[in-house]
């Protein structure tokens, strides 16, 4: 989440809202968000309803739920997805910016 916080302004410039879904309960999630002063939206998902809906994988030998990342457009279509193979398998923000720029360009200049 540190890289998301670091580049949050660049996401906002692309009319993008960052939403982080986590397995903690609402109280723990809110406490963490406040402590870390995160500028984006956090969604507590202790029952894994959202995580399961989007196919987030669970690998017990690798500390539980693996990171998953999706770019979802304003029509609710998944435009990019990445299911991590480990906790350190994180998509670089520069790659996300390329995806977001392409999606925004497609919206502005439809084919």
Q: Which of 94, 101, 106, 87 is nearest to 4 (CA)?
A: 94
Q: Is residue 111 part of a domain?
A: no
Summarize pLDDT for 89-104 with one digit per residue, the tens: 889 999 999 999 999 9
Q: Is residue 31 part of a domain?
A: yes
pLDDT cut 70: percent of the chain above it:
94
Q: Which residue range is the domain that position 77 belongs to?
A: 2-105
The enclosing domain of 11 has a CATH number of 3.40.30.10
pTM: 0.82
Average pLDDT over residues 2-12: 93
Number of domains in the chain: 1
What pLDDT shows up at residue 85? 83
What pLDDT shows up at residue 2? 84
Summarize pLDDT for 40-63 with one digit per residue, the tens: 999 999 998 998 888 887 765 556
Q: Is residue 110 part of a domain?
A: no
Tokens of 36: 């870390």
Average pLDDT over residues 50-79: 81
């Amino acid at each position: 989440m540190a890289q998301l916080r670091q580049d949050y302004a660049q996401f906002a410039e692309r009319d993008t809202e960052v939403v982080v879904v986590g397995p903690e309960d609402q109280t723990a999630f809110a406490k963490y968000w406040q402590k870390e002063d995160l500028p984006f939206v956090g969604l507590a998902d202790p029952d894994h309803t959202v995580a399961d809906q989007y196919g987030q994988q669970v690998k017990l030998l690798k500390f539980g739920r693996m990171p998953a990342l999706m770019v979802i457009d304003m029509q609710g279509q998944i435009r990019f997805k990445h299911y991590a193979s480990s906790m350190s398998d994180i998509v670089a923000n520069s790659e996300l910016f390329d995806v977001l720029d392409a999606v925004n360009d497609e919206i502005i200049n439809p084919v």
